[in-house]
A and B are shown apart, each in its own frame.
Chain A
Amino acid sequence: MSADASTSVNYLNHDRSIKSWLLTLDHKRIGILYLVVISLVFLGAGILALFIRLEQIAPGQDIMGPDAYNQIFTIHGVLMVFAFIIPAIPAILGNFVLPMQLGAKDVAFPRLNLLSFYLYVGGALIVLSALLVGRIDGGWTFYAPYSIRVGDSILFVTMGVFVMGFSSILTGVNFIVTIHKMRAPGLTWNRLPLFVWSLYSTAIVQVLATPVIGITVLLLFLERLLGIGIFDPALGGDPVLFQHFFWFYSHPAVYVMILPAFGIISELIGTFSRHRIFGYRFVALSSIAIAFLGALVWGHHLFVAGQSALASTVFSLLTFLIGIPTGVKVVNWVVTMHQGSIQLRTPMLYALMFLILFSIGGFTGIMLGVLPIDIHLHDTYFIVAHFHYVMVGGNVIAALGGLHYWWPKITGKIFNETLGRIAAGLIFVGFNLTFFPQFITGSRGMPRRYYDYPVEFESLNQLSTYGSWVLAAGMFLIAGYLLHSLFKGKKASANPWGSLTLEWTHTNRLPIPHNFERTPIVTRGAYDFHLAKDLFKDEPSGNGVDSHQVPDLEQEGRPEA
């Protein structure tokens, strides 16, 4: 059957009408819809970032005035956080992969899934429509009272964020139920792929924290509309209360960003080391630990905002504790490679890059948790560097790794490995060049959200701007060869990397509309490579492409059944 897989029915070709795409209930197609829209958002917000860097190439006015600059970093932040990074991995890769990894035909609520997508698009459009009303200004944190003084545009921004929040909640609910109720027979919690575990903990955070940002932006909305006096000091409200509300969501949100990335990294390291994930249970449960601890540390964003010294002390202590389950993961990933069989394909390069960059981001996070150090570093470029190391170096790098890893399953095509490695290299170099200098400018005192800056910071800023070009070159290269592979790429095999999770072992090269011909029965853990030796029996050595052709399911039966 593998030979005629291209001519047989698959989820892409069974109906090609536009309507069948826009109204699809198939989780894989919804994943692709997200992929298209979220990539466009990333492109847009990324280009805004290039403008930020261009303006920062020298002190004073370079290409725009202060009002334009302030709007650009605000839109960059809002889009990147609410419209890109929060939905990116769960909504694109989670949607595509989760049901297949569970051996299910779809998520539990396919219609809700489609609704989430349209809520997401609608919310993003509402945010952008604010530009027609006035400026989007004040940073992605829209602290009161500045945000309520800017103009009516804040009404649209808050409304849009509210709507996108609902999308996030519904996706979370959908995933939790799917994981609980839709697992194939034999797929016990101990055999779940770690990506599933990470989506599970992410969904918990989404469900528990997102409603709070919902109510926060609703109150901010009403503050602007009616002047309800909760946050506005001029009316007797408390601006610090807003910050507590905001970070009560937005700190857990950073774990919505990073937990799914952890899941991808586990998949990549497992597959490309062909080795059981060391301390599987610790890795799985530390996600849950992070999810819960993450709900208790929001106050570390308010060390200098006027919260009580006692509160700061407690939040500082809790913040440190977050580093411990994260450290457990990092150690376990590294140890997984011990005595493995490591293959450095493009996705694995991203996994290694992740370990390097995320560790830097994480360690600087720990620095920020130390009260006196944060007092010095708060709202400087050091923070900007910290969160780009965790968000770009963590989430985006993992997302790129995941995208490359699942690309053959999504499109049935394999991308150009050489270009893949070059792009990964460009991104690694460009990224460090862009953001490492910002640690230094920041700790030497350059504040963030600064249109203009003292001349002593010029050379480091210049370096950072050059770096952003290298970084962008890498990104555009990826977009280029991925698109190219769609049309000209070699056909991938059903399981080109030799993975053990169900989406690779039990589906065709391109999955059929309901994923599986028959519900798979699972008999081993997601990384028990030693129990699936026959998968790797007679591989053609050579360029590695198509090297792990799965034995045809129909002819040879299920390897593990």
Chain B
Amino acid sequence: MGENGSVFLPEASSSFASEVDALFNFVLAVSTVFFIAVVGTMIYFVIRYRRRSHSFVPAPGKDSRLLELVSIVFPTILVLILFTWGFQVFITLSTAPPDSYEIRVRGKQWFWEFEYPNGVVTVNEMYVPLNKPVRLKMSAEDVLHSFFVPEFRVKHDVIPNRYTTVWFEATKAGEYRIYCTEYCGTQHSAMLGMVHAVPEAEFNTWLQNQDQDIPLLDLGERIFSQYACNACHAIDGTRKIGPQLNGLAGITRTLDDGSTVVADDSYIRESILDPNAKVVDGFAPGLMPAALGASLTPRQLDGLLEYIKSLE
């Protein structure tokens, strides 16, 4: 059935929704055929063999091995097809592409909290870029909840002290309701949210604008851990893959070509955006991913700067 849903199914708005629907419609069709066969035969027999004489005792029916065999083998084949097909789609549903955009989801009585990689936190409103796989990393704060977006055909329980995930790739712009489908108390039915699936550019603007309300320094600190800068840079004076960053602001750096440079704002800025432009002496060029800087919004970059300068 069409992408716009059917009697039984809402609009299909994620990359795999139509795969699920095909499966659904197949089972529905097969079931309907079986059902009509069973009930039709039944009705036919009831009419055809209705009791005509009160003393008539029909001859006993003969058991038929063949029929038993058919009624075992045929459904078995059918369910095996169903199983295999279902399994394949299930694999798609449960393995997020590695490059998925990750959003943290927290379920609380009775609202949803979404945290973006850049530290933006929203409540009950989730924006996702169109045609990009998005992976939700979910956990609950109090009791069980369950994250459900019918149009995406995704659902998973959200559990305290544990991470669970779902992923989807929105294929149609629009607003889709998020339901909580695990009973969680008085306002369970009011624990609703909204996914806004928007084109990527629009998504990025939205995300940037969201940063406005967080203090720069906090934003920087968050980005620093979310972009995993701390994986390579210590801030306590030890040496990791990259140079320590505490006390960097204002000192004089020796570069690998022997020259020196004062670590002012523009140096730090350049080091983030174009790491290989000036490589610190004793460190290999090309290690620090340039892509990191490229995905930062200007405000995030400012935040990082503030943060790095604040480290002593």
Q: Please pick, from A143, A342, A378, the residue contacting B45 in the complex, using a CB distance under 8 A.
A: A342
| Contacts known (A304-B146, A454-B177); A445 close to B189, Cβ less than 8 A | no
Do B186 and A67 have beta carbons less than 8 Å apart? yes
Q: A434-448 toward B: CB 8 Å interface, digit per residue (1/0)?
A: 000001100111011
Q: Bound complex: CA of A380 vs CA of B155, how far in Å?
A: 11
Do A342 and B51 have beta carbons less than 8 Å apart? yes
| Closest partner residue, chain A, to B85 (CB atom) | A370
| Contacts known (A146-B143, A324-B76); A371 close to B90, Cβ less than 8 A | yes
Which of A11-19, A423-431, A470-478, A537-545 lines the interface with chain B? A537-545
Q: Bound complex: CA of A336 vs CA of B49, how far in Å?
A: 11
Q: How far is the CB of A153 from chain B (nearest CB, A)?
A: 14
Q: Bound complex: CA of A449 vs CA of B49, how far in Å?
A: 45
Q: B118-154 toward A: CB 8 Å interface, digit per residue (1/0)?
A: 0000000000000000000000001110101011011
Q: Please pick, from B5, B57, B144, B150, the residue contacting A376 in the complex, using a CB distance under 8 A.
A: B150
Do A233 and B160 have beta carbons less than 8 Å apart? yes
Q: Please pick, from A146, A276, A336, A376, the residue contacting B155 in the complex, using a CB distance under 8 A.
A: A376
Q: Please pick, from B28, B58, B63, B79, the residue contacting A320 in the complex, using a CB distance under 8 A.
A: B79
| Contacts known (A304-B157, A342-B49, A367-B28); A239 close to B180, Cβ less than 8 A | no
- B4: interface (CB < 8 Å): no
Q: How far is the CB of B213 from chain A (nearest CB, A)?
A: 30
Q: B61-95 toward A: CB 8 Å interface, digit per residue (1/0)?
A: 10110011001100110011011011101100110
Which of B18-26, B234-242, B304-312 lines the interface with chain A? B18-26
Q: How far is the CB of A50 from chain B (nearest CB, A)?
A: 20
Do A334 and B41 have beta carbons less than 8 Å apart? yes
Do A344 and B155 have beta carbons less than 8 Å apart? no
Q: Please pick, from B35, B50, B51, B86, the residue contacting A360 in the complex, using a CB distance under 8 A.
A: B35
Do B93 and A375 have beta carbons less than 8 Å apart? yes
B contacts with A, residue count (CB < 8 A): 83
Q: Bound complex: CA of A370 vs CA of B71, how far in Å?
A: 21
Contacts of B50 in A (CB 8 A): 341-344
Q: Bound complex: CA of A363 vs CA of B28, how far in Å?
A: 9
Q: How far is the CB of A374 from chain B (nearest CB, A)?
A: 9
Q: A347-370 toward B: CB 8 Å interface, digit per residue (1/0)?
A: 000001001100110011011011
Do B183 and A239 have beta carbons less than 8 Å apart? no
Do B39 and A359 have beta carbons less than 8 Å apart? yes
Do A335 and B89 have beta carbons less than 8 Å apart? no
Contacts of A279 in B (CB 8 A): 63-64, 67-68
Do A306 and B182 have beta carbons less than 8 Å apart? no
- A275: interface (CB < 8 Å): yes
- A452: interface (CB < 8 Å): yes
Do B157 and A337 have beta carbons less than 8 Å apart? no
Q: Bound complex: CA of A440 vs CA of B7, how far in Å?
A: 7
Contacts of B64 in A (CB 8 A): 278-279
- B98: interface (CB < 8 Å): no
- B27: interface (CB < 8 Å): yes
| Contacts known (A447-B180, A536-B54); A376 close to B190, Cβ less than 8 A | no
Judged by DSSP, the binding face of A is helix
Do A328 and B57 have beta carbons less than 8 Å apart? no
Contacts of B195 in A (CB 8 A): none
- A245: interface (CB < 8 Å): no
Contacts of B83 in A (CB 8 A): 316-317, 320, 370
- A373: interface (CB < 8 Å): yes
Contacts of A343 in B (CB 8 A): 50-51
| Closest partner residue, chain B, to A142 (CB atom) | B183
The total number of A-B Cβ pairs within 8 Å is: 264
Contacts of B85 in A (CB 8 A): 370
Do B54 and A547 have beta carbons less than 8 Å apart? yes
Contacts of A376 in B (CB 8 A): 20, 24, 150, 153, 155
Do A340 and B58 have beta carbons less than 8 Å apart? yes
Do B45 and A443 have beta carbons less than 8 Å apart? no
Q: How far is the CB of A36 from chain B (nearest CB, A)?
A: 33
Q: Please pick, from A233, A340, A373, A444, the residue contacting B86 in the complex, using a CB distance under 8 A.
A: A373
Q: Please pick, from A273, A306, A445, the residue contacting B159 in the complex, using a CB distance under 8 A.
A: A306
Contacts of B35 in A (CB 8 A): 359-360, 363
Judged by DSSP, the binding face of B is mixed
Q: How far is the CB of B277 from chain A (nearest CB, A)?
A: 45
Q: How far is the CB of A395 from chain B (nearest CB, A)?
A: 19
Do B188 and A449 have beta carbons less than 8 Å apart? yes
Q: How far is the CB of B191 from chain A (nearest CB, A)?
A: 10
Do A359 and B156 have beta carbons less than 8 Å apart? no
Q: Please pick, from A278, A344, A359, the residue contacting B38 in the complex, using a CB distance under 8 A.
A: A359
- B184: interface (CB < 8 Å): yes
Q: Bound complex: CA of A335 vs CA of B183, how far in Å?
A: 44
Q: How large is the interface on A (under 10, 10 to 19, 20 to 34, 35 or more residues)?
A: 35 or more
Do A536 and B63 have beta carbons less than 8 Å apart? no
Q: How far is the CB of B93 from chain A (nearest CB, A)?
A: 5
Q: Bound complex: CA of A320 vs CA of B79, how far in Å?
A: 6
Q: Bound complex: CA of A312 vs CA of B157, how far in Å?
A: 14
Q: Bound complex: CA of A380 vs CA of B189, how far in Å?
A: 12
- A331: interface (CB < 8 Å): yes
- B34: interface (CB < 8 Å): yes
Q: Please pick, from A138, A324, A369, the residue contacting B72 in the complex, using a CB distance under 8 A.
A: A324
- A189: interface (CB < 8 Å): no
| Closest partner residue, chain A, to B37 (CB atom) | A334
Q: Please pick, from B8, B56, B161, the residue contacting A440 in the complex, using a CB distance under 8 A.
A: B8
| Contacts known (A146-B185, A324-B79, A344-B50); A330 close to B68, Cβ less than 8 A | no
Q: Bound complex: CA of A539 vs CA of B53, how far in Å?
A: 10
Do A372 and B72 have beta carbons less than 8 Å apart? no
Do B150 and A341 have beta carbons less than 8 Å apart? no
Which of A190-198, A259-267, A525-533 lines the interface with chain B? A525-533
A-contacting residues, B292-307, CB 8 Å:
none
| Contacts known (A233-B162, A328-B72, A450-B188); A445 close to B24, Cβ less than 8 A | no
Do B55 and A331 have beta carbons less than 8 Å apart? no
Q: B1-12 toward A: CB 8 Å interface, digit per residue (1/0)?
A: 000010111100
Do A342 and B143 have beta carbons less than 8 Å apart? no
Q: Please pick, from A305, A334, A375, A450, the residue contacting B154 in the complex, using a CB distance under 8 A.
A: A375
Do A275 and B68 have beta carbons less than 8 Å apart? no
| Closest partner residue, chain B, to A341 (CB atom) | B51
Do B186 and A309 have beta carbons less than 8 Å apart? no
- A149: interface (CB < 8 Å): yes
- A321: interface (CB < 8 Å): yes
Do B157 and A306 have beta carbons less than 8 Å apart? yes
Contacts of A454 in B (CB 8 A): 177
- A34: interface (CB < 8 Å): no
- A44: interface (CB < 8 Å): no
Q: How far is the CB of B205 from chain A (nearest CB, A)?
A: 29
7 contacts between A and B (CB under 8 A): A233-B159, A275-B60, A306-B157, A334-B42, A335-B67, A359-B38, A366-B31
Q: Told that A337-B49, A375-B90, A529-B60 touch, could you supply 20 new A-B pairs with CB distance under 8 A?
A: A66-B187, A70-B188, A273-B49, A304-B156, A320-B82, A332-B71, A339-B59, A341-B52, A342-B50, A343-B50, A352-B42, A352-B46, A369-B82, A370-B83, A371-B86, A372-B86, A444-B5, A532-B57, A536-B54, A536-B55
The 10 closest A-B pairs by CB, nearest first: A445-B150, A320-B79, A363-B31, A371-B90, A337-B45, A450-B189, A370-B86, A379-B181, A233-B160, A331-B71
